[in-house]
Amino acid sequence: MRRWCFSFLFLLLLVFYQLDGMASSSSNTPLKKPKVNVLSPQDLLSVTHYLHTCPDAEGIIQNKVRAWVKKDYTLAASIIRLHFHDCAVRGCDASILLNHTGSERRSEGSKTLRGFQVIEEIKAELEKRCPKTVSCADILTAAARDATILIGGPFWEVPFGRKDGKVSIAREANTVPQGHENITALIHFFQARGLNLLDLVVLSGSHTIGRTTCRSIQTRLFHFNGNGNGRDVMPHSSSLLNATYMRVLERKCRRSYDYVDLDGTTPRKFDNEYYKNMEKKMGLLSTDQGLYRDARTSPIVQALATQPDLFMNQFAVSMVKLGNNVQLLTAKNDGEIRGNCNFVNPP
């Protein structure tokens, strides 16, 4: 009996010292911090964001866009362009919609933007149905998708949850490409916004629809002499425009404020004809033709010219990337939900 008790006590002491040793060693070992998963702004977007707070939001946006495009088909391209100009500065935060002195909307580079009234009307309707719920940034993003579909383009899911920004600066809007930049500058501009070479070429394909003013292409058509007394009859050596196409443009561009279609072949149809036009030296803007001439982008242009399905599918992918870019405002303390897209909320 004594031997059994002794053995039992010995085991208890052994366990005690082992536990004490483990406690001592653990106290000398620094505790590892638990891993914290940091969510990106994109992670906070969701296709069901308004499912319970404003379930008819997408339907309202779609119906309004359809009604406006039915009255004026050129608005489809204008809405897509407005969305790009918004996302290209400070991310997709509806800063392009703010209408005050010194804002992006008042900048020189934004003078030809259209579609503001469409967004204002959609916002007014949504405020009646779901006050202070749907952001202007989400409205513009969804409207661009719906406008694309209405003119024959692809569908893509739009995740929601963007906030509206409170800052809008004119000089920042003037950095958005205007159609005369070199390809290297375009590549850098897109890369700074999380978009790659493929996205650059594919998103440029939105020029398959829409128009531009003749002012933006006059330097492609002619040299202007230094004394301001007129123009040379010799086409600009770097324009590389198809001769027949150039004569058509000369007839259409009597005045700088006249408009000309970006796609000279099928201007009302969302298709890959834009890329085929480049092969025929019918890229209207110098940046358009430049994509075909540059060795870095030319293979992509050629692939899209021969594969219409590739263009459609990739356009949807690239538009999602544009709408979900790295500068999004989605966190709780980011931005706001404006009551009126033209102005920040009063304090």
- For residue 116, the model assigns a pLDDT of 98
Listed range (80-89, 136-145, 224-233) with the worst mean pLDDT = 224-233
pTM of the model: 0.84
Listed range (130-134, 137-141, 234-238, 317-321) with the worst mean pLDDT = 234-238
Q: Which residue has the higher pLDDT, 62 or 232?
A: 62
Instruction: Compute the average pLDDT of residues 123-147.
Output: 98
- For residue 38, the model assigns a pLDDT of 62
- For residue 231, the model assigns a pLDDT of 35
First-to-final CA distance of the chain: 85
* Cβ atoms of residues 220 and 241 within 8 Å: yes
Q: Which residue has the higher pLDDT, 37 or 318?
A: 318
Q: Is 52 a catalytic residue?
A: no
CA–CA separation, 21 and 26 (whole Å): 8
- For residue 238, the model assigns a pLDDT of 40
CA–CA separation, 211 and 234 (whole Å): 25
Residue 300 has pLDDT above 90, yes or no: yes
Beta bridge partners of 160: 46
Residue 338 burial by Cβ neighbours in a 10 Å radius (0-12, 13-18, 19+):
buried
Residue 319 has pLDDT above 90, yes or no: yes
Compute CA distances 208 → 53, 146, 149, 221, whole Å. 37, 16, 13, 21
Q: What is the pLDDT of residues 161-178, one digit of tens each?
A: 999 999 999 999 999 998
Listed range (32-46, 80-94, 185-199) with the worst mean pLDDT = 32-46
Residue 28 has pLDDT above 70, yes or no: no
- For residue 44, the model assigns a pLDDT of 84
- For residue 68, the model assigns a pLDDT of 98
Mean per-residue pLDDT over the chain, rounded: 86
- For residue 37, the model assigns a pLDDT of 59
Instruction: Compute the average pLDDT of residues 47-63.
Output: 97
DSSP designation for 105:
G
* Cβ atoms of residues 322 and 84 within 8 Å: yes
The gap from C-alpha 175 to its chain's centroid, in whole angstroms, comes to: 15
Q: Which residue out of 49, 83, 85, 207 is catalytically annotated?
A: 85
Question: Which candidate, 204, 152, 180, places its Cα nearest to that of 319?
Answer: 204
**To the nearest whole percent, how much of the chain has pLDDT over 90?**
73
Residue 187 has pLDDT above 90, yes or no: yes
φ/ψ of residue 106, rounded to 5: -90, 0
- For residue 328, the model assigns a pLDDT of 77
- For residue 226, the model assigns a pLDDT of 37
